[in-house]
């Protein structure tokens, strides 16, 4: 980049497929990458380790991991004692808010990203939300993202000074196959990404909603998924 | 209460004066008290210990302490390396956003409170924000609170199901003296509350913005402040 100073972006990076493609998009768009990972005591904590590997692979300018103990609140299969459902159909996944929904999670994540953006004087947050695969999650929808942007406009120092913080969710309406194809063109290190809600060690279970969606995405994209699954 | 099951409220309880009066108001209003304290690696971590004492004194139905490491982000005198300003005049305090403003803090707090409310099936959050003493903090203003309520309406399971989450900030436009007088009528244990940004051990410094505001409030209310100060 010829020593040019790039504008900073904060990227919410979970170590998953979508957020890694999102980080690659932020780089393509010409921003410096300040990755932010929230370690929320999730069942699939291997994500956090993968986020570190992704940050290294993408040569991120900074990677901050914040600990937030959402297990203290519970209310989700990802942080509490409920079990993660397996082998559900698309119809079942979209019927209602799934037990893998973590109350308030994306708002907590975006709040932390906004705080980080304020400190860095960054005016953009990249957020890998997707409404196609997660239509049952209220906090993956466009109207939610717009409401958070409006909140940041009135509730941050940056907003008070007339400089808003944009939340860019480039994957919002893309199918998993489209996301994967785009990721390929951006050399996303898919082999490092982790999607499974209920891994055995670091191996994806192959049966939870997130594994099923990922596997079908690779199939539809006509590409081999480079990660290992316990059950294919 | 004759074994009657009360509706639940989540109260953001910092261990400070305002949030303790707010909790007493929630009790007066007839709600069960679910106190939520965020331990954010603040300089004045004695607050967290005081919040436990306050919860016991108020006979809270539940008290959850969540760890969120805001120091990883920094950007504030309360979580970073900047020093806490002392002996500032009211004019200086209100001139601009002070260095004790913690970026994103109240949004993070309200997000966690909303998550907790969803899990508890509570539809009200009590929040001790005050715009009179903290006019320089963007996230203590009415428009911020309304924007968060709108966000919860679209971004939570409760909201999707047509059941919003109200954020009640009963102290918003009260002076400190008014808050103290109200607290007296509600038997608030002021001796347990901690307000100082920069305590020496657990003793209030007496010189930071928060101490100055508290001391003047007690003076104006004509009541003796029961806590100790390093400098009177």
Find which of B157, B165, B167, B169 to mutate to test the A interface (most A CBs within 10 Å of its CB). Answer: B157
The ipTM value here is 0.89
Sheet holding A8-12, edge to edge: A62-67, A32-39, A8-12, A124-126, A166-168
| Paired sense of beta strands A166-168 and B166-168, if any | unpaired
B107 contacts on A by Cβ (under 8 Å): 107, 111, 114-115, 151-152, 155
The span from the CA of A86 to the CA of A204, in Å, is 12
Question: Nearest to residue B168, comparing CAs of B122, B115, B120, B102?
Answer: B122
| Paired sense of beta strands B124-126 and A166-168, if any | unpaired
The span from the CA of A81 to the CA of A71, in Å, is 10
Query: Chain B residues with CB-CB distance to A under 8 A?
Result: 64-70, 72-75, 97, 101-108, 111-112, 114-116, 118-119, 138-139, 141, 143-144, 147-148, 150-157, 159-160
Average pLDDT by stretches of 10, chain A with 232 residues: 82 96 98 96 86 97 94 77 77 72 88 93 95 81 95 88 92 97 98 93 92 96 96 78
pLDDT of amino acid B2 = 55
Measure A69 CA to nearest chain B CA, in Å. 6
pLDDT of amino acid B230 = 94
Q: Which of 3.40.50.970, 3.10.150.10, 3.40.50.300, 3.40.50.620 is the CATH number of B8-189?
A: 3.40.50.620
Decide if pLDDT at B79 tops 80: no
Decide if pLDDT at B110 tops 60: yes
pLDDT confidence band for B89 (50 / 70 / 90): confident
The span from the CA of A15 to the CA of A36, in Å, is 10
Find which of B51, B67, B68 to mutate to test the A interface (most A CBs within 10 Å of its CB). Answer: B68
Question: Nearest to residue B80, comparing CAs of B70, B95, B66, B65?
Answer: B70
Subunit contact B147:A157, Cβ cutoff 8 A:
no
The span from the CA of B80 to the CA of B100, in Å, is 10
Whether the Cβ atoms of residue B193 and residue B20 lie closer than 8 Å to each other: yes
| Paired sense of beta strands A62-67 and A32-39, if any | parallel
The span from the CA of A11 to the CA of A36, in Å, is 6
In CATH terms, the superfamily for domain A8-221 is HUPs (3.40.50.620)
């Amino acid at each position: 980049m010829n020593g040019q100073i790039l504008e900073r972006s904060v990227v919410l990076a979970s170590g998953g497929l979508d957020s890694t493609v999102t980080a690659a998009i932020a780089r393509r768009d010409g921003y410096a990458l300040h990755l932010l990972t929230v370690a929320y005591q999730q069942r699939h904590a291997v994500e956090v380790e993968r986020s570190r590997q992704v940050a290294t692979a993408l040569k991120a300018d900074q990677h901050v991991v914040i600990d937030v103990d959402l297990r203290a609140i519970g209310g989700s299969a990802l942080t509490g004692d409920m079990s993660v459902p397996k082998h559900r159909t698309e119809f079942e996944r979209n019927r209602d808010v799934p037990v893998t929904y973590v109350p308030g999670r994306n708002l907590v994540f975006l709040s932390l990203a906004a705080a980080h953006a304020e400190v860095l004087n960054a005016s953009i947050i990249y957020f890998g939300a997707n409404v196609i695969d997660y239509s049952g999650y209220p906090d993956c929808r466009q109207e939610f993202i717009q409401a958070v942007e409006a909140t940041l406009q009135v509730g941050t120092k940056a907003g008070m000074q007339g400089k808003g913080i944009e939340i860019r969710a480039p994957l919002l309406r893309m199918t998993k196959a489209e996301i994967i194809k785009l990721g390929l063109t951006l050399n996303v290190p898919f082999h490092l990404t982790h999607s499974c809600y209920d891994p055995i060690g670091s191996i994806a279970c192959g049966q939870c909603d997130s594994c099923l969606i990922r596997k079908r995405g690779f199939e539809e994209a006509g590409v081999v998924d480079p990660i290992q699954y316990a059950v294919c």
